[in-house]
Chains A and B, each alone.
Chain A
Amino acid sequence: MNSKITRFIGGQWGQRALILLLIFIVMAVFERKFFTPGNVSSIFLAISVYGIMACGMLFVVLLGGLDLSVGSMAGLSAVIISFFAKNDNFGTGGVLTGLLAALAAAVVVGWLHGVLVTQINMPSFVVTLATKYILYGFMPMITSGAFIYITGEGLMYQVGNAKVLGVPMPIVIFLVVAVICGLILSRTTFGRRLYAIGGNPTASALVGIHVFRDTKIAYIISCVTAALGGMVLCSMNMIAGQTTGNGYEGNVLLAMIVGGINLAGGEGGVPGAVFGALLAGIITNLMTLLGVSADFQKFVQGMIILAAITLNVYTGRRSAGLSAPKRRRGKAAEESAKQG
C-alpha cells in the first residue's frame, strides 16, 4: 500500500495532481474570484471546446503526427452549420443538415490529410498547416465575408446553452466525446493498433496492421472532433464567421503538451489530453482574471509549450533506447532493396 502511494506521487498522475494543487493554492491566496461558481463554470465552458478538439487530435499525435488544421476546421464547421441553419430560420432540420454537411466536410479534409501523409509521405504539420490556410480562404465563399448571427432558441441555442441536470450542454458533449475517444483508444483493436503504429510503424506493418488505413482514420477522427468543437463554439457565442476557431490549434497543442502526450507518438491517452485541456483552460482563465492582456497571454502560452517540452526531454521519459526509428522502411526503401 505504502509503495503504491509513493509510486502515485512519483508517477505522472501524482505530478499532475501536484501541479493542480499548487495552482489552486496560488489562486486561493491571490485571486478570490477564481473559486466563484460563475468562474469555475466559465473555465469548464472554455475548456469544453479545446477538450473536444484535443480528444480527436490525440489520435493523430499518438501516431507521431500533428493536426494544425483543427482551428480552421472548427471555423469551417461553424460556418457551414450556421449557413444551413440560417436558411431554415434556425430550425432543427436546418441545423441537422448543416451538421451532416460539416461532418462530411471534416471526413473529406481528414481523409485528404491521411492520404497526403501516408501515400505521398508528407510531414503532417506541413499538410495540415496548408489546409488551415486553404480552409480560411474557403470560408468567405460561404459567409460572403459577413458574420452569421444565430437567433432564436432552437437546437443551435440549446447546444451551447441548455443544461442537463444542471451541467451546461458543452461540458456534457465534451465528457461524451472524451469517454467515447477514451474507450476507442483503450478498449478497441483500432486503439491498440494506433499505439503500435505510433511506437513503431515498420514492426506494426509486419504484424499485419494496415498502417496507411488506420492512419487515415486517425486524421479523419481529428477533423470530425474539430467540427464538433466548432459547432459547440459557435452555438455558445451565437455567432459564426471567419474568425471562429481562429488559433484554437495552439490551445489544443498546449493541452497536448502540458497533458504529457508524447509528440513522438505511441504514448499518452485521453486522461492526459483532458488534464491538459483543464490545465490550459485554468492558466488562460487565471491570466484573464489577473488582467493579463490577450497579446501577453500568447507569449505565456508559447513559453509554457517550450518549458513543457524541455521538461519532457530533460526528464528523459524516452531514453535513447526507447525511441523507435520511424518509417525507415518506407516504400522507397522497399524499392531500393529491390534494385539490390
Chain B
Amino acid sequence: MEKDRVLLRTEGIFKQFNGVTVLDDVNLEIKYGEVHALMGENGAGKSTIIKIITGVYAKDGGDVFVDGEVVAINNRQDARARGISVIYQELSLVPALTVTENIFLGQEIEHRGLLSKKKMRESVRALIGKYAFEIDPDAVVDSLSMAQRQMVEILKALSMDAKLIIMDEPTSSLSAAESEKLFDTIDGLREKGAGILYVSHRLEEVYRLSDRLTVMRDGRIVAVLDRSEINAKTVTTLMIGREPRESRARSGRDLFKDNYLEVKHLSYGKLLKDVSFTAYGGEILGIGGLVGSGRTELVRCIYGAAKQDGGEILFNGRPVSKRIAKNIRMGFGLVPEDRRVEGFIPVQSIEKNIAIASHDRLSRLGIVNARKETRWAEDAIQNYDIRPKNRHMPVANLSGGNQQKVVLGRWLSRDPKLLLLDEPTVGVDVGVKADLYDFMRKLAQSGAIIIMVSSDLFELTHISDRILVMHGGRFFEEFTHDNASQTSVLLAASGEHTEEGRAL
C-alpha cells in the first residue's frame, strides 16, 4: 500500500429515493495512508454515499473506482472483496465469544472439519502485533470496554485485508480517554498505509485526525479542504450554507414568572456536570448541542425518568418528584426522542394511546369512564388534526407525523405546565412540522414552560425564544432568539466561543 496513491474514487454518483434526489454528482476521493473526514448536517447525504460505496444501496448513476479501476459493488461481499470495510456505530460483535472467535466468525480456519484454534489465534496475534493494539486475543468480548470492542471490529476488518476502513461516528459511545485510544489506533492504521473515511459531527476530532475534509450539503459535495484550511468558521459555514434571515423578526414574549423551573448544579454520570438554568412559562427554551452531549439525559432527569447523581430540580420552588406519575399530575409531559421505542404503544388505538396518560382525569376509583375517554380522544383528534380521524386506528398504521401528533396530543390535551420535547420533529413531514410548531407556540402563550432539545439547527434557531447550547456536559453559550444563527449555534456546540452568544 503506497501512500498518496488514490485508493477509492467516485465519479458523478447520483441517487434518488422515490423521485427525490439525495445525492447529486458526488465526487469523493480517498488516498492510501490518509484519514479523510466527511462532515455535513443530518440529511446531507453522508450515510447514503457510504452505503453506496459499501454495497448497501444501489446507485442510480456514476462510477466507483478502486485502485483506478471501475468496480461494481452490488452487496457487502463485493465491498469486502475490494477491501472496503465499515465499522458501524452499533457494534456487530457477539459478546459471549472471544476476540479471536469474533474476528473469525463466519470465516473460521478449519482443519479436517475441526476448528484450527491455534492458527486463528496466531494470525490474530500477528495482526495485533503489527498494529500494536492493546488487546488479548482470548478475552471474552463482553469483558472489553467500548474502545476495545471497536479495536476488535477494526481487527476484524483488517483480517479481511481491508484497505479502506469507514468509521461512522465511532466515538459516539466512547469516553474521552477511550476516544483518545481510538485516535492512536487510527494514527497507527494511517502509518501502515490504510485509508480511513471518518464521519463525525465533532469538529475537534476532525482537527485531531484528518488529513483532508470533505463537506457535504443537500446531497452534494460543497468543498474539499486540506488540513491547513480546516477551521470551525469555514466548516460550519460550508455545512449550513447561506442562512435565510427573513421571517425571524419577532416581538418580545411575555414571560409568566409564576411558572418556572430551576435546575441547579445538576450532574449525571459522565454526561452532565454542573448544569444550571431557569426556564419560565411563556418561553420555548431550545437546548442545542451535539448528539450524545447529555441533552436527552437532562430532560429525562427533569421528567423523573432518570435519577441525577447530584444537584436540584425545582418546579415553582418545590423539588421535583422522582416518580413520573406524580410529575405528570403536577403538569409535566415528555415527548421522547425515539417515539417508536418510547413514545407510543404501536398495537393500540389512537384513543388508548392518548388517554393512557390521563386516567387520573378519566376514571374514578380505578374504573375508567369509557364515554369520557372516547370524548377525550375525539377532542384531541379534532384539536390536533390527527389523521385518519378514526380513534380505533392502531398508531402503528399512522404516518410518522401523525404518530408524533398522538404523542404530543396526549400531553397537550392535559394543558401541561411543563412540556419537554426531545427531537420533536425527526421523521415528520413539513406540513405536520408547521402544525407541531403552532401547537408549541400556542401552549407557550398560555403560560407553559416548553423545553425543546433539537439537532435541527433551523428549528432550534427559528422556534426557540432562547437557546442554551451544551458542550462538555455544561451549558456553554446562551443565545437570544434574535442573535442566534445556525452557524453560531453549531460553533458553540463544537466548543468554540462566538460573538453572538453569551458565554456561560
* B144 beta carbon closer than 8 Å to chain A: no
Assess A325 versus B341: contact at CB under 8 Å? Given A200-B346, A206-B336, A338-B271. Answer: yes
In the A-B complex, the 3 residue pairs with the closest CB atoms:
A208-B325, A338-B269, A199-B345
* Bitwise interface map of B from 310 to 335 toward A, beta carbon under 8 Å scored 1, else 0: 00000000000001111110000010
Tell me, rounded to whole Å, the shortest Cβ–Cβ distance linking A14 to chain B: 18
Chain B contacts to A: CB under 8 angstroms: 175, 268-271, 292, 294, 297, 303, 305-306, 323-328, 334, 336, 340-348, 352, 355-357, 359, 363, 366-368, 370, 394, 396-397, 410
Interface 9-mer from A26-34, A186-194, A233-241: A186-194
* Contact yes or no, B347 A192, CB < 8 A: no
A101 CA to B114 CA in the complex, in Å?
59
Q: Determine the chain B residues whose CB is within 8 A of the CB of A206 once the complex forms.
A: 303, 305, 324, 334, 336, 342-343
Asked if A210 is at the interface of the complex by the 8 Å CB criterion, the answer is: yes
A-B contact pairs, 7 of them (CB 8 A): A187-B367, A189-B359, A199-B348, A204-B356, A205-B305, A337-B306, A339-B175
Q: Contact: B348 with A210, CB < 8 Å?
A: no
A266 vs B305: C-alpha distance when bound (angstroms): 23
Contacts of A187 on B, CB cut-off 8 Å? 367-368, 370
A203 contacts B343, C-beta separation under 8 Å: yes
- In the bound complex, do residue A322 and residue B347 qualify as a contact, i.e. CB atoms below 8 Å apart? yes
A339's partner among B270, B327, B341, B410 (CB-CB below 8 A) is B270
A-B pair count, CB < 8 Å, reads: 111
Q: Which residues of A contact B (CB under 8 A)?
A: 187-193, 195-196, 199-200, 202-210, 266-267, 318-319, 321-325, 328-329, 334, 337-340
Q: Which residues of chain A have C-beta atoms less than 8 A from B297's C-beta?
A: 337-338
Known pairs A206-B342, A319-B396, A338-B306. 20 more at Cβ < 8 A?
Answer: A187-B368, A189-B359, A195-B345, A199-B347, A200-B344, A203-B341, A203-B343, A203-B344, A205-B324, A206-B334, A209-B356, A266-B345, A322-B396, A329-B342, A337-B269, A337-B306, A338-B268, A339-B269, A340-B269, A340-B271
The interface centre, meaning the residue of A191, A204, A267, A338 with most chain B CB atoms within 10 A of its CB, is A338
Contact A199-B269, Cβ < 8 Å, known A192-B368, A207-B356, A337-B297: no
Nearest chain B residue, comparing its CB with the CB of A184: B366
CA distance in complex: A196, B344 (Å): 9
- Determine which of B303, B334, B342 lies in contact with A202 in the assembled complex, contact meaning CB atoms within 8 Å: B342
Selected contact of B346 from candidates A324, A328, A329, CB within 8 Å: A324
Q: List, in ascending order, chain B residues with CB within 8 A of A210's CB.
A: 325
Identify the closest chain A residue to B411 (Cβ).
A207
Tell me if A192 and B346 are in contact (CB < 8 A): no
What residue of chain B has the Cβ atom nearest to residue A188's Cβ? B366
Q: Are A192 and B340 in contact (CB under 8 A)?
A: no
Task: Determine the chain A residues whose CB is within 8 A of the CB of B397 once the complex forms.
Answer: 321
Contact A190 B271 (CB under 8 A): no
Contact partner, A204, options B327, B345, B347, Cβ 8 Å: B345
- For A195, the chain B residues whose CB sits under 8 A away are 345, 348, 352
| B352 with A266: CB separation less than 8 A | no
Closest A residue to B272 by CB, please name it.
A340
**In whole Å, how far is A8's beta carbon from the nearest beta carbon of chain B?**
16
Contact of B348 among A202, A266, A318 (CB under 8 A): A266
CA distance A191 to B324 in the complex (A): 19
Docked pose: A5 CA to B268 CA in angstroms: 58
Contact partners of A202 in chain B: CB under 8 A: 341-342
Measured CB to CB, the nearest residue on chain B to A191 is: B368
In this complex, what residue of B is CB-closest to A324?
A: B346
For the complex formed, measure the closest distance between the CB of A322 and the CB atoms of chain B, giving whole angstroms: 5
Give the chain A neighbours of B410 by CB distance below 8 A.
Answer: 207
Tell me which residues across on chain A come within 8 A of B347, comparing CB atoms. Answer: 199, 266-267, 318, 322, 324
In the complex, A338→B368 CA distance in Å?
Answer: 37
Set of chain B residues within 8 Å of A323, measured between Cβ atoms: 346
Take A204-B345, A325-B340 as given contacts and tell me if A189 and B363 are in contact as well, using a CB distance cutoff of 8 Å.
yes
A113 to B462, CA, bound (A): 52
Docked-complex contact A188 and B270, CB < 8 angstroms: no
- Residue from A196, A200, A208 having most chain B Cβ neighbours under 10 A: A208
Q: Which of B268, B324, B325, B342 has the most CB of A within 10 A?
A: B342
**Chain B, Cβ-Cβ closest to A322:** B396
> Which partner residue on chain B sits nearest A334 by CB separation?
B306
Bound-complex Cα distance A200 to B394 (A): 13
Q: Taking the nearest CB of chain B, how far is it from the CB of A71, in angstroms?
A: 29
Report Cα–Cα, A325/B323, bound state, in Å: 24
Q: Do the beta carbons of B294 and A340 come within 8 Å of each other?
A: yes
**Which residues of chain B are near A190, meaning CB under 8 Å?**
366
Distance in angstroms between the alpha carbons of A200 and B340 in the assembled complex: 9
Report which residue of A319, A322, A323, A328 has the largest number of chain B beta carbons within 10 angstroms of its beta carbon: A322
Residues of B near A199 (CB, < 8 A) are: 345-348
User: Bound complex: CA of A205 vs CA of B357, how far in Å?
Assistant: 10
| B348 close to A208 (CB less than 8 A) | no
Could you say which residues of chain B place their CB within 8 Å of the CB of A204? 345, 356
Q: Report yes or no: A207 in contact with B328, Cβ–Cβ below 8 A.
A: yes
Q: Select from chain A the residue with minimum beta-carbon distance to B339.
A: A203
Q: List B contacts of A208 (CB < 8 A).
A: 323-328, 357
Q: Is the CB of B345 within 8 A of A203?
A: yes
Task: Identify the closest chain B residue to A202 (Cβ).
Answer: B342
Cβ distance A133 to chain B, nearest Cβ, rounded Å: 27
Chain B residues near A339 (CB, 8 Å)?
A: 175, 269-270
A227 to chain B, nearest CB (A): 23
- Minimal beta-carbon separation of B422 from chain A (angstroms): 11
Complex-state Cα separation, A203 to B346, whole angstroms:
10
B328 to chain A: which residues have CB within 8 Å? 207-208
What is the chain A residue whose CB lies nearest that of B145?
A339
Contact status A189-B366, CB under 8 Å = yes
* Assembly CA distance A279 to B344 (angstroms): 34
Task: Report the minimal beta-carbon distance from B324 to chain A, rounded to whole angstroms.
Answer: 4
Taking CB atoms, residues of chain A closer than 8 Å to B336 are: 203, 206
B359 touches A192 (CB 8 A): yes
Which residues of A are found within 8 Å of B341, using beta-carbon distances? Answer: 200, 202-203, 325, 328-329
Between B297, B334, B348, B410, the greatest number of chain A beta carbons within 10 A of the residue's beta carbon is seen for: B348
Cα separation A206 to B343 with both chains bound (whole Å): 8
Q: What residues of A have a CB within 8 angstroms of the CB of B355 in the complex? A: 192
- Within the complex, the shortest CB–CB distance from A134 to chain B, in Å, comes to 29
A199 nearest in chain B by CB position: B345
Complex interface: chain B residues within 8 A of A329 (CB): 341-342
Q: Which residue of A lies closest to B325 (CB)?
A: A208
A326 to B320, CA, bound (A): 29
Give bound CA distance, A208 to B304, whole Å. 9
Cα separation A12 to B324 with both chains bound (whole Å)? 37
List chain B residues, Cβ under 8 A from A338: 268-271, 297, 306
Given known pairs A196-B356, A199-B347, the reply for A189 and B324 (CB within 8 Å) is: no
Could you say which residues of chain B place their CB within 8 Å of the CB of A267?
Answer: 347
Name the distance in Å between B364's Cβ and chain A's nearest Cβ.
10
* Complex CA–CA separation, A337 to B270 (angstroms): 9
B394 near A322 (CB under 8 angstroms)?
A: yes
Given contacts A189-B359, A196-B356, A322 and B366 within 8 Å (CB-CB): no
Q: Shortest distance in angstroms between B399's beta carbon and chain A's nearest beta carbon? A: 12
* Chain B residues with CB under 8 A of A325: 340-341
* A334 CA / B323 CA spacing, docked (Å): 16
| Chain A positions within 8 Å of B326 at CB level | 208
Minimum distance in angstroms from B182 CB to a CB of chain A: 15
Least Cβ distance of B362 to chain A in Å? 8
CA distance A303 to B342 in the complex (A): 37
Bound complex: CA of A23 vs CA of B357, how far in Å? 44
